[in-house]
């Protein structure tokens, strides 16, 4: 800022360049002295050319008006002929009157449909029409519209106008009007225009077919051509002024006086305005610099500029506050920077090398280290720094402290985990009664086997005979099997409901489905639903958290089982299907229940939306969150045979041991 202000002060009138203004004024005076007369002559020349164009347009309109007036008369005459309201004598009188009123009409002819003359007004016509006139007549017959012929030369330059006579859509004859182009120019062009210009009618190849030059030929200085735009005829109206270019000497004297007066006045005004502008510019610059400084100091986003070698050239107060360092320790600093965290030094060096090579990442997240050692997660936006001439001088970065956002994301993750744990507990609460019934069977069996073994031992003790181990071993083995069964049920429930951090591992979908098979069967028995599984062979393993996948499958199967409460017993079949689609493992839970309406399907995965009276509306939302956590997608579609298909896909990882899982098992019923 100080450098800019000092430069502004050096431009004041007290500087060494104060003699430059009078010198520039003298040079300007000489330039204007030479330029103004030439410019005045050019302006006069342009005015003459513009006046010529305007007059030519006026003449063109006059010619068009004369032709249009005649065309209207011909149309009226043909209308009377079509109505058969004119006798030959009356028609001849009308035609003679039209020729008398329009001197450019050399001849009017009434022809029948075969082109034979029925009536004529004017000098006798030759035995046959000229070739241009025949062409125009043929086009008029084909189109049913009036046409002009191209100009042709007989005793003079002529042009025919062919107007077909139609009655009930059929050609009954032709009205032919022959124009004298020379007379047309004489009648349409006023005398005052002809005194200053030579007027000509030209064809496409610039052949003169008619001309009026009362004051002699034009000089070729001011010329203009204009198309007449006649249907069938290509005629141009050309004008050539008899005036020459304006002379320079009179304009030179006038221009010199004007230039001298203007130069003196401009010199005084320029001196006064120069001082005013300099003072205003200096004040405006101070205000702009103060505004820019205040704006930079009030920003909460850190700004950092680096040159093409990675050296820091600018930082704003927000950046200094972010890293806990003053500007003096940052500006001019070359990599490595004092705010780089030691554990991320390799990442910084790699990213800096990419920036210096021109491969900048527009947006990325990293970690900065404050001067007190605290780590701060930041979001950086990087863009090229371009000067006023369009050259890149470095890189400009905007740095945002995203600590609060990271804390919010972590809090949201914890809330999701709590919701998932709560969902699992709610699920286990629903199947608690079924779980008690399922545990009652192995416990009762254990009690029976141990009671039988005790009775054998008691009987042997009463008889005084030793106990035969062969009699006790089967009962004890069966009791052990039932104990393991009960323990497995308890462990499955414990693993499902306990709170823990997500832990990814390589899992086979078949093993995940088998792991919660007991819990699914407990729900299915309550509603007499048969369970079927179809797992494609050779499925790759997926990298996932077992408990989260089990929760997804348990929620989806529970919804499917409950959806089939009101259908016929033979339709209560639940199919769990696993296939490989485009390198991803796709798992589908298929029911044959009442299905889902389109209105409900649009809000199905929304939090707190439920179709159950006692539902919280979080089950499917949690399922989708869990699937997306693993990089997959959860979708819903209608089952073609009735019911609903919920499916989710997960990225597969090829297994090294070549294991294959094939399962087609069921307890009753068929494929849904």
pLDDT digits over 318-354, tens only? Answer: 888 888 888 888 888 888 888 888 888 888 888 888 7
Q: Across the chain, what does the average pLDDT equal?
A: 76
**DSSP letters of 414-448?**
HHHHHHHHHHHHHHHHHTHHHHHHHHHHHHHHHHH
**pLDDT, tens digit (0-9, with 9 covering 90-100), for 592-618:** 888 877 666 655 665 544 555 444 445
Q: How far from chain centre, in Å, is Cα 13?
A: 54
Tell me what pLDDT residue 606 has. 56
* pLDDT at 126 exceeding the cut of 70: no
9-22 burial code (b ≥16 CB/10 A, e <16): eeeeeeeeeeeeee
Looking at per-residue confidence, does 252 or 396 come out higher? 396
State residue 502's pLDDT score.
Answer: 61
How many C-alpha atoms does 328 have within 13 Å on its Cβ side?
0
What is residue 577's predicted lDDT score, i.e. its pLDDT? 92
pLDDT digits (tens, 9 = 90+) for 461-484: 777 777 667 666 776 766 776 676
Name the nearest CA neighbour of 580 among 670, 671, 660: 660
Predicted confidence band of residue 587 (pLDDT cuts 50, 70, 90): very high
Considering the four listed CATH numbers 1.20.1440.230, 3.40.1160.10, 3.30.450.20, 3.10.180.10, the one that applies to the domain covering 21-275 is: 3.30.450.20
Cβ within 8 Å of residue 25, ≥6 positions away: 263, 266, 267, 270
Query: pTM of whole model > 0.75?
Result: no
* Residue 563 and residue 644 in contact, taking contact as beta carbons nearer than 8 Å: yes
pLDDT band, residue 588 (cuts 50/70/90): very high
Tens digit of each residue's pLDDT (9 = 90 or more) over 80-116: 777 766 677 888 888 888 888 888 888 888 888 877 8
Least confident of 256-260, 305-309, 468-472, 488-492: 488-492
* DSSP symbols for 336-372: SPTTB-GGGHHHHHHHHHHHHTT---SEEEEEEE-TT
CA distance 550 to 547: 5
Q: Which CATH class is domain 503-672?
A: alpha beta
Alpha carbon separation from 396 to 200, 315, 337, 387, 389 (Å, rounded) = 70, 10, 16, 12, 17
Tokens read off for 301: 């986003």
| 242: nearest Cα among 271, 224, 219, 259 | 219
Digit-coded pLDDT (tens) for 38-94: 777 778 778 888 888 888 888 888 888 888 888 888 888 888 777 766 677 888 888
CA triplet 12, 14, 16: central angle to 5 degrees? Answer: 100
Helix/strand/coil for 328: helix
Q: Which of 244-248, 266-270, 293-297, 620-624 has the lowest mean pLDDT?
A: 244-248
512/535 Cα distance (integer angstroms): 12
Average pLDDT, integer, range 179-207: 84
Min mean pLDDT across 158-162, 445-449, 549-553 is at 445-449
Q: Residue 164 pLDDT > 70, yes or no? A: yes
Q: Please state the rounded mean pLDDT for residues 405-409.
A: 79
Closest CA to 130 of 170, 162, 173, 96: 162
Give the separation between CA 323 and CA 339, rounded to whole angstroms: 6
- State residue 672's pLDDT score: 32
Percent of the chain scoring above 70 in pLDDT: 74
Instruction: Indicate whether 368 pLDDT > 50.
Output: yes
Does the pLDDT of residue 572 top 60, yes or no? yes
For residues 103, 104, 106 and 108, what is the CA-based torsion angle, rounded to 10 degrees? -90
**What is the pLDDT, as a whole number, of residue 19?**
57
- Strand partners for 96: none
Distance in angstroms (rounded) separating the CA atoms of residues 312 and 468: 92
The answer to whether residue 619 scores a pLDDT higher than 60 is yes
In the block, residue with structure tokens 């009775």: 455
The pLDDT score that the predictor gives to residue 387 is 82
Closest CA to 237 of 192, 206, 196: 206
Reply yes or no on whether the pLDDT at 375 is more than 80: yes
- CATH of range 301-401; options 3.40.50.300, 3.40.710.10, 1.25.40.80, 3.30.450.20: 3.30.450.20
* Beta strand residue intervals within 411-556, DSSP E: 504-507, 530-535, 541-545
> Is a pLDDT exceeding 50 seen at residue 287?
yes
Distance in angstroms (rounded) separating the CA atoms of residues 530 and 521? 9
d(CA 174, CA 114): 9
Handedness of CA 122, 126, 127, 132 (dihedral sign): negative
Structure tokens at 384: 């090229």
- Per DSSP bridges, beta strands 633-638 and 105-112 are unpaired
- For 283-322, b/e burial (b = at least 16 CB within 10 A) is eeeeeeeeeeeeeeeeeeebbbbbeeebebbbbbbbbbeb
- Whether the per-residue pLDDT at 440 is higher than 60: the answer is no
Do 432 and 489 meet the contact criterion of CB atoms below 8 Å apart? no
Are the CB atoms for 24 and 31 separated by under 8 Å? no
pLDDT at 11 over 70: no
CA distance 574 to 559: 11
Q: Is 206 exposed, middle or buried (0-12, 13-18, 19+ CB in 10 A)?
A: exposed
What is the predicted pLDDT for the residue at 423?
A: 58
Q: What is the pLDDT of residue 258?
A: 65
pLDDT at position 559 over 60: yes
Q: Which helix (H) or strand (E) holds 257?
A: helix 249-298
Nearest to 373 by CA among 352, 351, 404, 342: 342
């Amino acid at each position: 800022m100080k450098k800019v202000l000092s430069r502004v002060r050096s431009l004041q009138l007290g500087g060494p360049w104060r003699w430059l203004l009078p010198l520039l004024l003298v040079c300007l005076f000489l330039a204007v002295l030479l330029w103004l007369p030439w410019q005045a002559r050019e302006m006069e020349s342009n005015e003459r050319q513009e006046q010529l164009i305007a007059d030519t347009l006026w003449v063109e309109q006059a010619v068009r008006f004369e032709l249009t007036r005649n065309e209207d008369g011909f149309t009226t005459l043909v209308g009377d002929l079509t109505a058969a309201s004119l006798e030959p004598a009356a028609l001849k009188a009308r035609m003679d009157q039209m020729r008398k009123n329009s001197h450019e009409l050399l001849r009017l002819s009434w022809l029948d449909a075969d082109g034979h003359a029925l009536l004529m007004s004017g000098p006798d016509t030759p035995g046959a029409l000229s070739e241009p006139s025949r062409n125009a007549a043929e086009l008029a017959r084909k189109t049913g519209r009036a046409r002009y012929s191209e100009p042709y030369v007989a005793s003079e330059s002529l042009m025919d106008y062919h107007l077909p006579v139609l009655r009930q859509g059929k050609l009954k004859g032709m009205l032919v009007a022959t124009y004298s182009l020379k007379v047309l120019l004489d009648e349409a062009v006023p005398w005052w225009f002809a005194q200053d210009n030579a007027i000509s009618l030209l064809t496409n190849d610039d052949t003169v077919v008619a001309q009026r030059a009362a004051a002699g030929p034009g000089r070729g200085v001011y010329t203009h051509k204009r198309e007449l735009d006649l249907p069938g005829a290509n005629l141009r109206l050309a004008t050539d002024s008899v005036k020459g270019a304006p002379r320079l000497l009179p304009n030179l004297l006038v221009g010199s006086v004007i230039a001298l007066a203007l130069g003196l006045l401009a010199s005084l005004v320029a001196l006064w305005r120069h001082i005013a502008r300099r003072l205003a510019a200096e004040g405006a610059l101070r205000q702009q610099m103060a505004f820019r400084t205040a704006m930079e100091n009030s920003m909460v986003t850190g700004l950092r500029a680096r040159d093409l070698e990675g050296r820091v050239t600018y930082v704003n107060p927000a950046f200094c506050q972010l890293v806990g360092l003053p500007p003096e320790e940052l500006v001019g600093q070359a990599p490595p920077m004092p705010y780089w965290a030691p554990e991320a030094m390799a990442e910084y060096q790699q990213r800096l090398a990419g920036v210096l090579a021109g491969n900048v990442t527009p947006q990325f997240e990293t970690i900065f280290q404050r001067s007190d050692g605290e780590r701060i997660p930041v979001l950086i936006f990087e863009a090229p720094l371009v000067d006023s001439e369009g050259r890149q001088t470095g890189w400009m970065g905007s740095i945002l402290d995203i600590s609060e956002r990271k804390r919010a994301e972590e809090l949201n993750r914890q809330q999701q985990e709590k919701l998932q744990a709560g969902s699992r507990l709610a699920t286990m609460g629903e199947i608690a009664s079924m779980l008690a019934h399922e545990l009652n069977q192995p416990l009762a069996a254990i009690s029976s086997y141990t009671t039988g073994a005790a009775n054998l031992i008691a009987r042997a003790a009463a008889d005084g005979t030793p106990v035969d181990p062969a009699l006790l071993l089967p009962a004890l083995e069966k009791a052990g099997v039932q104990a393991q069964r009960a323990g497995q049920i308890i462990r499955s429930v414990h693993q499902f409901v306990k709170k823990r951090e997500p832990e990814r591992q390589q899992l086979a979908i078949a093993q995940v489905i088998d792991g919660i098979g007991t819990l699914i069967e407990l729900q299915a028995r309550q509603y007499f639903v048969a369970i079927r599984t179809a797992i494609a062979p050779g499925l790759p393993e997926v990298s996932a958290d077992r408990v989260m996948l089990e929760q997804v499958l348990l929620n989806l199967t529970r919804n499917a089982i409950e959806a089939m409460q009101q259908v016929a017993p033979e339709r209560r079949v639940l199919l769990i299907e696993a296939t490989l689609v485009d390198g991803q493992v796709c798992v589908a839970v298929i029911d044959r229940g009442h299905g889902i309406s389109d209105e409900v399907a649009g809000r199905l995965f929304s939090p707190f939306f439920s179709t159950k009276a006692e539902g919280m509306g979080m089950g499917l939302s949690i399922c989708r969150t869990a699937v997306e956590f693993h990089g997959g997608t959860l979708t819903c579609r209608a089952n073609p045979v009735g019911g609903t298909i919920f499916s989710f896909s997960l990225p597969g990882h090829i297994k090294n041991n070549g294991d294959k899982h094939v399962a087609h098992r069921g307890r009753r019923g068929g494929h849904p």
